[in-house]
Amino acid sequence: MASDLDTVRVLRALFSDMPRAPQGLSHEETMAWVAQSMADFQGGDMAYMIEHITRSSMLDIVLRLREDGYLKDDAAFGETVDLISTPEGRKTFMDRCIQAQKSADATSRLIHRAKRSWTDPLPLFSSDPGAVRRFVRGELSGPGPLYAEYRAREDVSQIGVLAQAPDGIHEFSWGFVVEDQGAWTFYIADVWRNGTVGSFDRFLSAWQQATASPANHSQRAESLPPVPAGLLMDDGIATFSSLSLQGAGPMSDPELRRWIGEVFIDRMLPTMAARVMDPQYDFPLVGLQAH
């Protein structure tokens, strides 16, 4: 199994050169910095998102190979970490992955997927209505047993997640939400107990699926209120979480909080998490969404 140190080494190799907002910025300054960084990225904001998705996929592949593939060998793992530290090396690694995907095993899996009927798993959890209402009102619960469980994990301690106390915590029966520096970050107990690293890319796919317009996604089960303007989704790599949401306005905005509480937490997130956690669930292809 990939160790916590292995995870940190691969994360640093893949993302050390990606732009990160400096510490100490206000919410407005952070939003402006993120928007400018994405615009300044070579190829623009779409190229930035594609690059982020690609590197997240590589992270998952490398750690899986470390657990049960040829990267169990320490020397091979070290060489691969060095390889993916550079743009040229990442291209070489992805070319190898593409060739491997053309193998007979991959073809067999694709045929099996095509024959399998599409089914949606049941929601992974539900939220207490009172807890949702308190979230909407901005009433913090403070840290509880699930927050303590997460903070006590060895991988969390080594990576340094939540080393500084966040501005606020909302704890639910399924996990907790950290409210800090203009963002809501979601930590789901079933996800961290199963291995946070393997869920980064799947949560991105789950968000894209859940927010796809009905015209573009015939499998959407119900019509939900649209995502508020300016609300951005970020994967959980930087925060070692399931995902983060960051709004363009103040966190106290009642309409924004109502959407996150009553729509996202209560209706979207349980199904998204169920799809992520179901190893048999294959996300349908949807166009890249701005997130």
Q: Name the pLDDT band for 118 (thresholds 50, 70, 90).
A: low
Q: What is the DSSP string of 203-255?
A: HHHHHHHHHS-TTT-TT--S--PPPPTT-EEEESTTTTSSEEEE-SS-TT-HH
Is pLDDT at 212 greater than 70 in this prediction?
Answer: yes
How much is the pLDDT for 125? 96
What the block records as the tokens of 159 is 């990576």
- Residue 119: the pLDDT is 74
- What one-character DSSP code corresponds to residue 283? P
pLDDT of residue 167: 77
- Residue 200 clears pLDDT 50, i.e. is over it: yes
In the predicted model, what is the mean pLDDT of the chain? 84
Is it the case that residue 190 has pLDDT exceeding 90? yes
Give the C-alpha separation, 220 to 115, whole Å: 20
Integer Cα distance of 260 and 13 in angstroms = 33
What are the structure tokens assigned to 81, written together?
């970490």
CA distances from 133 to 94, 170, 176 (A): 45, 11, 15
Residues 6+ apart with CB under 8 A from 233: 204, 207, 243, 244, 245, 291
Mean pLDDT of 22-28: 78
**Which of the four pLDDT bands, split at 50, 70 and 90, describes residue 27?**
confident
Q: Which of 7-16, 134-143, 153-162 has the lowest mean pLDDT?
A: 153-162
| Percentage of residues in the chain having pLDDT higher than 70 | 88
Question: CB of 236 within 8 A of CB of 267?
Answer: no
